[in-house]
A = this chain, B = another copy of it.
């Protein structure tokens, strides 16, 4: 199902190429308030999402898939907690894609992705997704270049197929600056309550920052289509990124405009004893 993205912060890569370096990670497009205003608006968005999701569940004909990508510390987990806490967990499934298991690596890269596609009436959230197969896989050369180069077109086809089969796809890249990542990694190291979140392996990834930015740029430009567009969300201000994703989800649900199904019986003919 095609849902037009009307947000100013949606980099319209399907209209003209997006340059990540030209998008300010500290920007707050389409929002003029401060952190507190954003928290209040987020609370309202959450309530609206929860109500719309109930109708989506009742209707049981459409699914929404939110794909979250972004560098380490870009705030993917926080977006999930802040945007989707409050949604009935019966109708919301989060899947975190980590390093493929042996069984997963034995299959094509979309196999485990396809298996996790949300069912009708539900919202699925992917914490990282098949884009890792043109991000980390490309940056580390885990497969020959010809293999990952062929994937962009395959991903476009796969998402087009989902879109034609009741799944509305929302793709968000949480766009942070290298300086902000440094700050967040330092916070994790210094705050004992956050230290467990620190992964020493993130340092090696950080060293390849510009290669990742190039890979993200290609993923966004080569896989953004009107029916499954990429949204580049400035994410140096966490409160803004959360609100921006919430707005996208709410607008998508409004566009689907879910309604309870018609009943297939005559209420007057039912006798209860």
Contact with B along A188-201 (1 / 0, CB 8 A): 01100101111010
Say which size band chain A's interface belongs to: 35 or more
CA distance A198 to B265 in the complex (A): 10
Segment of A79-87, A100-108, A245-253 engaged in the interface with chain B:
A79-87
Looking at A11-19, A26-34, A91-99, the stretch in contact with chain B turns out to be A91-99
Is A88 interfacial (CB-CB < 8 Å)?
yes
Chain A contacts to B: CB under 8 angstroms: 50, 58, 77, 80-81, 84-90, 92-94, 96, 125, 127, 182, 185-186, 189-190, 193, 195-198, 200, 203, 260-261, 263, 265, 267, 270, 272-273
Additional A-B contact list (12), CB under 8 Å, known A89-B89, A89-B93, A196-B261: A58-B197, A80-B89, A80-B90, A89-B94, A89-B125, A90-B94, A90-B127, A182-B272, A193-B260, A198-B263, A198-B267, A203-B270
13 residue pairs bridging A and B, Cβ less than 8 Å apart: A50-B85, A80-B88, A81-B90, A85-B87, A90-B94, A93-B93, A186-B272, A190-B267, A195-B260, A195-B263, A195-B267, A200-B265, A200-B270
